[in-house]
Amino acid sequence: MGKQLERIYEIVTQKAGLGARMNLASKTGVSKSKASEIPDTDELVNKFKALASDLIGENIDNWQ
């Protein structure tokens, strides 16, 4: 569960730092620890990808 969401958190942290990770959690309403526990639904993964791409300033799919 949550493997894609966890990976998105890792990429955001790696590319933009802890502040961006916290911003992602705030905007999604899903903490990093909770992301690993919930299912990777298409809707949620797409939401995370869009927000993460904005936060790191490039398409997150380039880093998956």
The amino acid occupying position 47 is K
CB 2 within 8 A of CB 40: yes
CB 45 within 8 A of CB 4: yes
CB 31 within 8 A of CB 23: no
pLDDT for the residue 1: 75
DSSP 62: G
pLDDT for the residue 2: 80
pLDDT in tens, 29-62: 999 999 999 999 999 999 999 999 999 999 999 8
- Number of Cβ within 10 Å of residue 60's Cβ equals 20
pLDDT for the residue 64: 66
pLDDT for the residue 62: 85
